[in-house]
Amino acid sequence: MIVIDGIDGSGKGVQSRRLLQIFLDAGESAILTREPGGSPAAEDIRRLLVKGEPQKWDDMTELLLMYAARRSHLRDTIWPALAENKWVISDRYADSSRAFQGIAGNLGLDTVERIHRLVVGDFEPALVIILDLPETIALARTEVRGDDEDRFERKGQDYHSRVRAAFRQIAATNPSQYRLIDADRDIAEVGADITQTINAQFALQLTSVPATR
């Protein structure tokens, strides 16, 4: 399982889709999924989390909803795909809970980790790529999208500054599992770095797709 994570507007969706295409072009069996969501039940919970007023849930309620969705995602999508020897590429995973609710939301990492162990157990992705860029640029990108899944984006610049710092803090804890990639560059350049990182981690020979893909 490979996770692409980071603050809102960092390019996770674009790079996740590009990465899936790279795996498929190489003849690998792979799926693309996302959090919150990734299974029918988890997508129901997603709508509760990403739409509406920023303060409609407190941080603990957010965390519990996230882990309810994550359990469904694991049970119904991730674990079955891995059992079939497929690569799983996920746009977000548990480090978003650590960053958004644990650190930026002031619940603390210990609280998140206790719930994580109860819900997830010892399962961990093989690699987590964190896309990093200034929150001002990332939030400006999200405004262009113009959809109604903007509850987290509307929590404000200070909140997202804390989220960015949280992801950087998390990435520094385990260099063998995490890679921090500068996302304030051209899509193709970021994608090439991601591909190179995965090739080095898993002894693969994937080829980056053109920028138009």
The CATH class of the 2-202 domain is alpha beta
Q: Which two tokens stand for residue 129?
A: 């790529």
Q: Cα separation of 123 and 9, whole Å?
A: 27
Q: Cα separation of 66 and 61, whole Å?
A: 8
pTM above 0.75, yes or no: yes
Cβ neighbours, 10 Å, residue 147: 8
Q: What are the DSSP calls for 179-206, one per residue? A: EEEE-SS-HHHHHHHHHHHHHHHHT---
Question: Domain residues of the chain, as ranges?
Answer: 2-202
- Which tens digit of pLDDT belongs to each residue from 118-137? 999 999 999 999 999 999 99
Q: Cα separation of 116 and 111, whole Å?
A: 9
- Which tens digit of pLDDT belongs to each residue from 28-42? 999 999 999 999 999
Q: Choose among 15, 2, 213: nearest CA to 132.
A: 15
- Which tens digit of pLDDT belongs to each residue from 58-79? 999 999 999 999 999 999 999 9
